[in-house]
């Protein structure tokens, strides 16, 4: 993730506090053991003012991730959504990224967080293309990681849990150090799982495939959006296991995520994917997605949470 330009306010446990005051104690449980949950949400600037994309679904996933950790976030879904909206407005942001995080705080020492306080913060800041503008247009270069995606038998892969991201950090750092843009992680069954911070899709002979949730992937909200858009466009979309060599022989590969949006993959392990650039199906899905997030597609208006009254 790129550098951040500080904003004025951070939402902290129900209050707006100064950016510089959002600090945690060194004995925070999550800092030691990764026992926190977070979200990444995008707000887009539209001709009708800023709108947050699939806000409720993101906050619901935050709650679900917390439930996996037996963590009770003391704010309702509606309160969390209202906080995100207020944060963007108060900071005068238009297009931005929102990062809510809930974590076990300070009480004692040891892995069991039962009875620990739960802190919830939300930060919003300006944020461009996660894998670069050039990547969105022409595709990125990926490397199959030597690190496998965390396994559902050892970690709760359905949750967006802080500690899981050590796996992502190892894989992404390895790929960058080797000169690639992003890592593709296989799972313990040697099937394709996902990127370090993105879900993955293939296109072959007009059919779209993505690994099933049982492959240990995060249930991505952009993944869900793309599946729905593609089906509405009459594409066949199947959730099925994908082998490494199937990636090499697909016509197109793309990655999805709140941060990554829809990013084409043009090369994997030094092999061009399809024509070695952005494929036509990827472009078509991107074009529809860009219209949706700008509030220019009536059919998907329900995905947008407008911050200002619409006249």
d(CA 159, CA 65): 4
> Does 145 contact ligand PPE by CB under 6 A?
no
Phi, psi of 104 (to 5 degrees): -75, 130
Out of 7, 202, 222, 286, the only residue in the binding site for ligand PPE (CB under 6 A) is 222
Out of 257, 264, 279, 295, the only residue in the binding site for ligand PPE (CB under 6 A) is 257
For ligand PPE, the binding residues in 47-106 under the rule CB under 6 A are none
CB of 45 to ligand PPE, least distance (A): 18
Q: Are 192 and 211 in contact (CB under 8 A)?
A: yes
CB of 200 to ligand PPE, least distance (A): 9
Of 282, 281, 302, 283, give the one whose Cα is nearest residue 292.
Answer: 302
- CA dihedral sign of residues 289, 291, 294, 295: negative
Tell me the CA end-to-end span of the chain in Å, nearest whole number. 36
C-alpha triplet 244, 39, 149: angle, nearest 5°: 25
- Give me the helices (H) in 93-158, please: 133-138
Q: Which helix (H) or strand (E) covers residue 289, if one does?
A: helix 280-293
> Does 263 contact ligand PPE by CB under 6 A?
no
Out of 10, 11, 37, 40, the only residue in the binding site for ligand PPE (CB under 6 A) is 40
The radius of gyration computed from the CA coordinates of the chain, to the nearest angstrom, equals 19
CB of 7 or CB of 168, closer to ligand PPE: 168
70 included as an active-site residue: no
> Does 194 contact ligand PPE by CB under 6 A?
yes
> Does 119 contact ligand PPE by CB under 6 A?
no
154 to 193: interface string for ligand PPE, x by CB under 6 A:
--------------x-------------------------
> Does 124 contact ligand PPE by CB under 6 A?
no
Residue from 8, 94, 160, 283 carrying the catalytic annotation:
160
Phi, psi of 168 (to 5 degrees): -65, -40
Residues that bind ligand PPE (CB under 6 A): 1, 40, 168, 194, 197-199, 218, 220-223, 256-260
Instruction: Name the residues annotated as catalytic.
Output: 160
């Amino acid at each position: 993730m790129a550098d951040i330009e500080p904003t004025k306010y951070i939402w902290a446990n129900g209050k707006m506090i100064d950016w510089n005051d959002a600090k945690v104690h060194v004995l925070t449980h999550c800092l030691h053991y990764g026992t926190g949950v977070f979200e990444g949400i995008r707000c887009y600037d539209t001709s009708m003012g800023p709108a947050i994309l699939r806000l409720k679904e993101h906050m619901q996933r935050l709650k679900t991730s917390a439930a996996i950790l037996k963590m009770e976030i003391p704010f309702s879904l509606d309160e969390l959504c209202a906080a995100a909206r207020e944060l963007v407005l108060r900071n005068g942001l238009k297009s931005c990224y929102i990062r809510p995080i809930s974590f076990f705080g300070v009480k004692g020492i040891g892995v069991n967080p039962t009875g620990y306080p739960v802190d919830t913060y939300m930060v919003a800041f300006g944020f461009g293309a996660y894998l670069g503008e050039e990547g969105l247009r022409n595709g990125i270069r990926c490397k199959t990681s030597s690190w496998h995606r965390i396994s559902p038998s050892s970690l709760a892969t359905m949750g967006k849990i802080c500690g899981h991201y050590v796996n992502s950090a190892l894989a992404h750092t390895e790929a960058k150090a080797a000169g690639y843009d992003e890592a593709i992680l296989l799972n313990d069954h040697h099937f394709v799982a996902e990127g370090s911070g993105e879900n993955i899709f293939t296109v072959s002979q007009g059919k779209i495939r993505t690994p099933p949730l049982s492959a240990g992937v995060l249930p991505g909200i952009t993944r869900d959006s793309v599946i729905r858009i593609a089906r509405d466009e009459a594409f066949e979309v199947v959730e099925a296991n994908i082998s490494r060599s199937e990636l090499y022989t697909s016509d197109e590969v793309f990655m999805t995520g709140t941060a990554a949006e829809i990013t084409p993959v043009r090369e994997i392990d030094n092999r061009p994917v399809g024509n070695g650039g952005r494929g036509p199906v990827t472009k078509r899905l991107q074009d529809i997605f860009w219209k949706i997030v700008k509030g220019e597609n009536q059919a998907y208006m329900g995905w947008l949470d407008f911050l200002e009254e619409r006249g």
